[in-house]
A and B are shown apart, each in its own frame.
Chain A
Amino acid sequence: MVATPRHTMGDRMPRKEDGRFIRGKGRYVDDIRLPGMLHSAILRSPFAHAKINNVDASAALELEGVHAVITGADLAAQGLAWMPTLAGDTQAVLATDKVRFQGQEVAFVVADDHYIAQDALELIEVDYEPLDPIVDSRRALDEDAPVIRDDKEGQADNLIFFWDAGDREATERAFQEAEVTVRQEMFYPRSHPAPMETCGCVADYDISTGEMTVYMTSQAPHAHRTLFAIVSGLPEHQIRIISPDIGGGFGNKVPIYPGYVCAAVASLILGRPVKWMETRAENLMSTSFARDYRMTGEIAATRDGRILGVRSKILADHGAFNAHAQPGEQYPTGFFPIFTSCYDVPAAYAEATGVYSNKAPGGIAYRCSFRVTEAIYLMERMMDVLADELEMDPAELRRKNFVKKEQMPYVSVMGWEYDGGDYHAALDEALRIAGYEQLLEEQRRAREEGRIMGIGVSTFTEIVGAGPGKKCHIAGIEMFDSAELRLHPTGKAILKLGVKSQGQGHETTFAQIVAGELGIPAENVEVREGDTDNTPFGLGTYASRSTPVCGAATAIVARKVREKAKKIAAHMLEAAEGDLEWTGERFQVKGSPDRGVNMEEISFAAYTNVPEGEEAGLEGVTYYDPPEMTYPFGAYICVVEIDKGTGQIEVKRFIAVDDCGVRINPMVVEGQIHGGLASGIGIALMEVMDFDEEGNHLNSSFMDYLTLTSMEAPKYELGETVTPSTHHPLGARGVAESPTVGSPAAVVNAVVDALSPYGVRHVDMPLSPNRIWSLLRENGVGA
């Protein structure tokens, strides 16, 4: 007989959830079919900015198989035409007065199937009066700029916010006194998470019970239920959000979108389940984008490369409605203030201006924690600009300025308290894997041969795992997370979580945490998520917060359960609690290893033989509010070669050393890093949302919104260092987003390094062949 595998914390355990996916038995929103279910389609604006004079749906309503056409006017009559955003703004559910971006929702058709629904869209007549659009954020605050949000009382321009942080005067002094200052403007262009599964839902209102069940592509089902209750006025306890299997999220499935609201309204009106699934074009055009930051970075330093001060200025384009994903109104730039990163910077100052434009609303953190990606990109580009100015090796410059491990726990000048880190060790490991000296030699040879080769370094710290609740909230709800654990009489456990995997492997890794704490095999722990009726309230999975917050909750709830188990064990062993010790597998009487009971035996006793004064059962629930965020960090090296003739870039090597503290499942961690690197490299090379002057979307399909294929993805060379988090109960940090945060700068730095002999100091993403070709030719490189 083959022994049943027993996996626990730290093992490379193949994933428990794989079984259904490799058989085609995953259950995604579009797989849900309910009796009597209707389908839908959304009519969207062809214009970026236009007044709506009239919407005539009469012909569509006459089409056989059409059940309803809902317009903005219909919703307005119910007070539902507008909904709140995550940033405290309002967003049109269906346009009433104006359309404010191309792809904005105008009408919602419900029909027997989605073929008929799409046919009906062509029969709806909308009388638009086109208006001047604002497409370039640099024009948004011009005197003569049209006011996009004229629906908002007192809004006389396109300004959303002005924000600043840090010590302006001290930073100014640093710049005045510095031997060297550098400055670089850069644009982090708009991109899109584009998960393989688009957004959608099935809303099912049961008129007999008053219950609304919504199957939804949601990264945060509990938060969404609360928001749904607020938007719809339905009582929260009668709303049930079920997030079934989610085909990737990357931040895209954090916000509430108009389609969800429309489907719910349609189900209320028609008394039947209504499904709404975006097309890919709709996903790219209307759901939340990421980035779109125009930034200026400045560093003041000594001639020998000590940083004295850092300054940044941002122009943030949030689109037509401020649907920015942020952990509270105090963070209009998210965690951008982490921008001093892993460096010991004595003075820093950041300011940002947020504006409206006639583009889709957002932005969300595409595979990153609230604008960290922009912050790290700025800092890592600036480090290379400074290295170039000082004619210093970029790795050496970084090493010189790292926060030292002896300084931990370090409080940055911007006020963040880092939970440990050894940045020197991570960089050294990356340089070792890369064979940095040989690489430099190879580059010298390549240059002699007339080949264009570049080496890019990027070192960084992330900031993930929001809360703490006193600092971070979503719509006022503090960002804790939750775990509920119950052991059944035979020692098998069910763990229910407030987060929701979209591929991160929670069903495996969270089982491993319980296994590690209770000495039972991870195979015996089932993990449940994504159903608001059957899991404890939590804030969801995004910004790499599952392991830092919910992972901690899981460890703590398991320890609570173990405490009760100890009482039962003492009773079973007829010993005093104080005489028992936990071996990692079982409780035994100190000094008598033959007298012990394991968790299976204790579980049975919990239902059959509890000590007097104890309740039956073996379970617990924990709501965990982290004392601080976690700060995973890394050191990346990218090697590129550029075709002088065509401008094409080949990523020859990519070395990534990540430190996410203790790894619960190294295999899953590595998988997360691979994926994050592919996103980051894709963003650097090709992923971009572009618009023409009229605000027409130029990348609304996978033909033009280019993501990496297997042909461009390099073979990743991973390394690790392990510096446990000082406050996480397992010493773990989040990791899935570090690689997306750290890698774009490594790629751009490599390309700039390649072109530096020709005088190039910066190039904006995406590094399209055309753009590189232009740089080559402008700088006199022929082929």
Chain B
Amino acid sequence: MQVPARFEYEVATSVEGAISLLQRYGSETRLLAGGHSLIPMMKLRLASPEVLVDIHRLDKDLRYIRDDGGTLRIGALARHKDVLESELVKEHYTLLTDAETMIADPLVRNMGTVGGALANGDPAEDLPAAFVALGAEVVARGPDGERTIAVEDLYTGPYETVLEPVDIITELRCSRQPAGSAYFKVERRAGDYASAAIGVALNLADGKIEDVRIGMCGVGSTTLRARETEELLRGQRPGAELYGRAGERAAEESNPLEDARGTAPYKRDLVRVLVGRALEKAVERAEVV
């Protein structure tokens, strides 16, 4: 088996401790949470950090999923499986449950963390798109204290975020509870990254769509938000014709690149199709509520 190059290893026992370790070792330092994106990269020697700061002992502080007066708070070290098994999530943030059933596989979901999925910055990662649809924000802590960043503003390019090397994501926060949401993904095979995936979260008022958000995964150099499509949908009565137009608009908003998971035209068309399906499902769920 391929094995990682040598590195130094530190275990953090508090968030502050982790931040000071990041400060001490400098930019070639990486946080190690679940490690299920980082360690494979290190084994293939596509990543060779000099220092790893292991934060799994912060579980006691950062592994939780709770409702805080209508705000969903997910600790950065919550595992994918925690999200999948959360009744709170299933009831009110269903697209996260949809997404989690298709993220990697059950064994990986036992280790992989929500914070890691967000910090990694892989445009084909599912959770960021789902969180964009929810309008969620990350809480990042650094030497100068805490700040919040909307997930849609987190990424500047593939594997690039606005986070400083000394920042640590501590929480994912979502103050909006949509009436209906859905996540649709096309993968070549179970466990694969998305060829394209779409998250939709919306509310209905008087039978019309309002407050809709759409996150797009795997169809741009970063996670995307389909703002124009949201605009097109707002205030409209749901229906097949509307979904069709929304899909077409979202396809235009996407900017996919060809890779092993598909050609650009294919992925673009998937956006069209999946936006329609996700809208239909989200509306259906909203109507039940």
Indicate if the CB atoms of A709 and B189 lie closer than 8 Å.
Answer: yes
Contact assessment for A646 and B188 in the assembled complex, using a CB-CB cutoff below 8 Å: no
Decide if A770 touches B3 in the complex (CB within 8 Å). no
Are A648 and B266 within 8 A (Cβ)? no
A279-B1, A279-B2, A645-B277 are known contacts. Are A704 and B260 too (CB-CB below 8 A)? yes
Complex interface: chain A residues within 8 A of B189 (CB): 686, 706, 708-709, 711-712
A711: shortest Cβ distance to chain B, in Å?
A: 4
Instruction: Report how far A783 CA is from B2 CA in the complex, Å.
Output: 44
Question: In the complex the two chains form, is A280's CB within 8 Å of B260's CB?
Answer: no
Closest Cβ of chain B to A148, distance in Å, is: 26
Shortest Cβ distance from residue A709 to the other chain B in the assembled complex, whole angstroms? 5
Inter-chain CA distance A701–B255, complex, in Å, is: 27
Give the segment of B59-67, B78-86, B190-198 that binds chain A: B190-198
Whether B3 and A773, one on each chain, are in contact in the complex, defined by CB atoms closer than 8 angstroms, is no
B186 A648 Cβ-Cβ under 8 A:
yes
Q: Contact check, B2 vs A118: say whether CB atoms are below 8 A apart.
A: yes
Q: Within B247-289, which residues are at the interface with A (CB < 8 Å)?
A: 260-263, 266, 269-270, 273-274, 277
User: Which B residues touch A690, using CB under 8 A?
Assistant: 260
Closest-by-CB residue of A relative to B191 is: A709
Complexed CA–CA distance, A115 and B44 (Å): 13
The answer to whether residues A281 and B2 also contact, given A645-B273, A712-B190 and a CB cut-off of 8 A, is: yes
What's the nearest-Cβ distance from chain B to residue A179, in Å? 41
Cβ-closest chain B residue relative to A685? B189
In the complex with contacts A704-B260, A770-B262, A646-B273 CB distance below 8 A = yes
Q: Are A706 and B270 in contact (CB under 8 A)?
A: no
Chain A CB count within 10 A is highest, among B5, B192, B269, for B269
Interface size band for B: 20 to 34
Is A774 at the interface (CB under 8 A from chain B)? yes
B2 engages A773 (CB within 8 Å):
no
Q: Does A306 contact B (CB under 8 A)?
A: no
CB of B6 closer than 8 Å to a CB of A: yes
Residue A777 interfacial (CB < 8 Å):
yes
**Nearest CB to that of A117 among chain B residues?**
B3
| B2 A769 Cβ-Cβ under 8 A | no
Decide yes or no: A706 and B273 within 8 Å by CB, A114-B3, A279-B2 being known contacts.
Answer: no
Distance from A30 Cβ to chain B, minimum over Cβ atoms (Å):
9
Point out the residues of chain A lying under 8 angstroms from B105, CB to CB: 709
- For the complex, give the distance between the alpha carbons of A367 and B129 in Å: 41
Q: A699 vs B188: C-alpha distance in the bound complex, in angstroms? A: 13
* Residues of chain A within 8 A of B3, CB atoms compared: 114-115, 118
Does the CB pair B188–A769 fall under 8 Å? yes
Proximity bits, A757-779, B CB within 8 Å = 1, else 0: 00000000000111001100100
Please name all residues of chain A whose beta carbon is closer than 8 Å to the beta carbon of B188 when the two chains form the complex.
686, 706, 768-769
Are A709 and B190 neighbours in the complex by a CB distance under 8 Å?
yes
Q: Does A119 contact B (CB under 8 A)?
A: yes
In the assembled complex, which residues on chain A have CB atoms less than 8 Å from the CB atom of B260? 690, 698-699, 704
Kindly report which residue of chain A lies nearest to residue B5, judged by CB atoms.
Answer: A119
Q: Which of B46-79 contact A (CB under 8 A)?
A: none
Minimum Cβ distance to chain A for residue B241 (Å) = 14
CA–CA, A711 and B104, complex, Å: 13
| CB-defined contacts of B1 to chain A, threshold 8 Å | 114, 279-280
- Residues from chain B with a CB closer than 8 A to the CB of A769 are 186, 188, 195, 262, 266
Contacts of A783 in B (CB 8 A): 273
Residue of B nearest to A645 (CB): B273
| B270: A residues at CB distance < 8 A | 645-646
A773-B266 in contact (CB<8A): yes
A773 and B269 contacting across the interface, CB-CB below 8 Å = yes
Interface bracket on A: 20 to 34
What distance in Å separates the Cβ of A225 from its nearest Cβ neighbour in chain B? 28
Contact B5 A770, beta carbon cutoff 8 Å: no
State the CA gap A122–B4 with chains docked (Å): 12
Are the C-beta atoms of B190 and A770 separated by less than 8 Å?
no
Chain B proximity mask over A681-714: 1 for CB below 8 Å, otherwise 0: 0000010001000000011010110101111100
CB-defined contacts of A703 to chain B, threshold 8 Å: 192
Residues from chain B with a CB closer than 8 A to the CB of A699 are 260
Given A709-B191, A770-B263, answer yes or no on A646-B5 (Cβ-Cβ < 8 Å).
no
Chain B: CB-nearest residue to A699 = B260
Q: How far is the CA of A690 from the CA of B188 in the complex (A)?
A: 15
Q: Which residues of A contact B186 (CB under 8 A)?
A: 646, 648, 769
Cβ of A267 to closest chain B Cβ, rounded Å: 22
With a CB–CB cut-off of 8 A, which chain A residues contact B44? 281, 701
Give the Cβ gap from A192 to chain B, nearest Cβ, in Å: 16
Q: Which residue of B lies closest to A115 (CB)?
A: B3
Q: Which residue of B lies closest to A647 (CB)?
A: B266
Inter-subunit contact A119/B6 (CB<8 Å)? yes
* Closest CB in chain B relative to A575 CB, distance in Å: 65
Q: How far is the CB of B182 from chain A (nearest CB, A)?
A: 15
- B147 smallest CB distance to A (angstroms): 35
By a CB distance below 8 angstroms, the chain B residues around A115 are: 3
Q: Which residues of A contact B261 (CB under 8 A)?
A: 770
- Give chain B residues whose Cβ lies under 8 Å from the Cβ of A711: 189-190
- Tell whether, in the assembled complex, residue A706 and residue B192 are in contact, meaning their CB atoms are under 8 Å apart: yes
Query: Which residues of B in the span 1-15 have a Cβ within 8 Å of any Cβ on A?
Result: 1-3, 5-6
Query: Which residues of A have CB within 8 Å of B195?
Result: 769-770
- Contact partners of A710 in chain B: CB under 8 A: 190
* Complex Cα–Cα for A188 and B284 (A): 44
Interface centre among B44, B186, B263 (most CB of A within 10 A): B186
Q: Mark A80-119, 1 if CB is under 8 A from B, else 0.
A: 0000000000000000000000000000000000110011
Return A44 CB to nearest CB of chain B, in Å.
12
A residues less than 8 Å from B5 (CB atoms)? 119, 122
Interface positions, chain A 733-783, Cβ under 8 Å from B, are 768-770, 773-774, 777, 783
Measured CB to CB, the closest approach of chain A to B102, in angstroms, equals 10
Q: Chain A, 707-736, contact with B by CB distance < 8 Å: what is the 0/1 string?
A: 011111000000000000000000000000
What residue of chain B has the Cβ atom nearest to residue A280's Cβ?
A: B1
Instruction: Report if A770-B273 is in contact (Cβ < 8 Å); known contacts: A118-B2, A118-B3, A704-B260.
Output: no
Q: Which residues of A contact B191 (CB under 8 A)?
A: 709
B273 cross-chain contacts in A, Cβ below 8 A: 645-646, 783
Interface residues as binary, B179-219 with A (CB distance below 8 Å gives 1, 0 otherwise): 00000001011111001000000000000000000000000
B262 contact set on A, CB distance < 8 A: 769-770
Q: Would you give the shortest CB distance from A109 to chain B, in whole angstroms?
A: 13
A461 to B274, CA, bound (A): 43
Q: CA A394 – CA B3 in complex, angstroms?
A: 52
In whole angstroms, how far apart are the Cα atoms of A712 and B192 in the complex?
A: 12
A647 to B261, CA, bound (A): 13
Residue of B nearest to A772 (CB): B266
Q: Which residue of B lies closest to A766 (CB)?
A: B188
Q: How far is the CB of A350 from chain B (nearest CB, A)?
A: 34
Chain A residues whose CB sits within 8 angstroms of the CB of B2 once the complex forms: 118, 279-281
User: Which chain B residues border A280 with CB–CB below 8 Å?
Assistant: 1-2
Distance to closest chain B CB from A116 (angstroms): 10
Closest to A278 in B: B1
With CB as the reference atom, state the residue of chain A lying closest to B43.
A279
Minimum distance in angstroms from A275 CB to a CB of chain B: 13
Contacting A at CB under 8 A, from B150-192, are 186, 188-192
Contacts of B45 in A (CB 8 A): 122
Looking at the assembled complex, report how far the CB atom of A774 sits from the nearest CB atom of chain B, in whole angstroms.
7
CB distance from A449 to the nearest CB of B (A): 16
**Chain B nearest Cβ from A604, distance in angstroms:** 52
Q: Whole-angstrom distance between the alpha carbons of A777 and B268 in the complex?
A: 13
Q: Which chain B residue has the least Cβ–Cβ distance from A701?
A: B44
Q: In the assembled complex, which residues on chain B have CB atoms less than 8 Å from the CB atom of A279?
A: 1-2
5 other A-B residue contacts (CB within 8 Å) besides A118-B3, A645-B274, A646-B186: A646-B274, A704-B260, A709-B189, A710-B190, A769-B266
Q: List 21 A-B contacts (CB under 8 A).
A: A114-B3, A118-B2, A122-B5, A646-B186, A646-B270, A686-B188, A690-B260, A699-B260, A706-B192, A708-B189, A709-B105, A709-B191, A710-B190, A711-B189, A711-B190, A712-B189, A712-B190, A769-B186, A770-B262, A770-B266, A773-B269
Top-5 shortest CB links A-B: A711-B190, A645-B273, A770-B262, A709-B190, A770-B266
